[in-house]
Amino acid sequence: MDGPRSDRRSFLIGSAALALAGASPDNAPVRVAVVGTGARGCDLIRALSTVDGAEIAAVCDDYAPHLERGLSYAGPKARGFDDLAKMLKEIAPSALVIATPLDRHFAMAVEALEAGCAVLCEKTMCYSIDQARELATLVEGRKAVFQVGLQRRANAIYEQALAMVESGMLGTISAIECRWHRNNNWRRPVPVPRGDARWEALDRRLNWRLYRDSSQGLMSELASHQLDVANRLLGGPPKRVIGSGGIDHWRDGREVFDNVFCIYEYEVGDGAGRRTIRVTYSSIQNNAYEGASELVLGTKGTLLLTQSKGLFYREGGADDPNWAVREGRVERDASIITSGKTLKLSNDPWAHRGKPFEIESTGDDTRAELVAFIDNVRRKDPATICDARAGLVNAATVLIGNQAMREGRSVPFPEGLAGRPKRI
Ligand SMILES: NC(=O)c1ccc[n+]([C@@H]2O[C@H](COP(=O)([O-])OP(=O)(O)OC[C@H]3O[C@@H](n4cnc5c(N)ncnc54)[C@H](O)[C@@H]3O)[C@@H](O)[C@H]2O)c1
- The predicted model gives 36-61 an average pLDDT of 98
Please tell me the predicted confidence (pLDDT) of residue 328.
Answer: 55
DSSP state of 265: E
Tell me how far apart the alpha carbons of residues 64 and 175 are, in angstroms, rounded to a whole number: 47
* pLDDT at 327 (0 to 100): 53
Which residues are 179's β-sheet partners? 282, 293
Higher pLDDT, 274 or 25: 274
- Count CB atoms within 10 A of the CB of residue 98: 27
Ligand 1 atom at minimal distance to the Cα of residue 36: 24
8-state DSSP, 117: -
Residue 296, number of CB atoms within 10 A of its CB: 26
- The count of residues in the chain is 424
Ligand 1 atom nearest 208 alpha carbon: 19
Closest Cα to atom 25 of ligand 1: 36
Tens digit of pLDDT for each residue in 336-394?
A: 445 554 444 455 677 777 789 999 888 899 999 999 999 999 999 999 999 999 999 99
Query: Over the stretch 106-143, which tens digit does the pLDDT of each residue have?
Result: 999 999 999 999 999 999 999 999 999 999 999 999 99
Element (H or E) spanning 388, and its range?
helix 388-407
Gap between the Cα atoms of 340 and 211, Å rounded: 52
Measure the CA–CA gap between 44 and 370, rounded to whole angstroms: 8
Determine the pLDDT at residue 39: 98
CA–centroid distance, residue 318 to ligand 1 (Å): 48
For residues 240 and 410, is the Cβ–Cβ distance under 8 A?
yes
Burial zone of 235 (CB within 10 Å; 0-12 exposed, 13-18 middle, 19+ buried): buried
pLDDT given for residue 14 in this prediction: 41
Cα 209 to the center of its chain, rounded Å: 16
Distance CA 53, CA 140 (A): 26
State how far Cα 184 lies from the chain centre. Answer: 20
Percent of the chain with pLDDT over 90: 79
Mutate to test the pocket of ligand 1, among 40, 69, 120 (most ligand atoms within 8 A of CB): 40
Name the pairing type of β-strands 95-98 and 118-122: parallel
**Residue owning the nearest CA to atom 28 of ligand 1:** 100
**Residues in contact with ligand 1 (CB, 6 Å cut-off):** 35-41, 60-63, 66, 84, 99-102, 104, 122-123, 149, 151, 205, 208, 221
Q: Whose CA is nearest to atom 33 of ligand 1?
A: 61
pLDDT per residue over 390-401, tens digit each? 999 999 999 999
Average pLDDT (168-186) is: 97
Domains of the chain, earliest start first: 4-154+365-386 (3.40.50.720), 172-298+396-412 (3.30.360.10), 319-351 (no CATH)
Give distance in angstroms: CA of 297 to centre of ligand 1.
34
115-152 residues labelled b (16+ CB within 10 A) or e (exposed): bebbbbbbbbbbbebebbbebbebbeeeebbbbbbbbb
How far, in Å, CA of 105 to CA of 124, rounded?
8
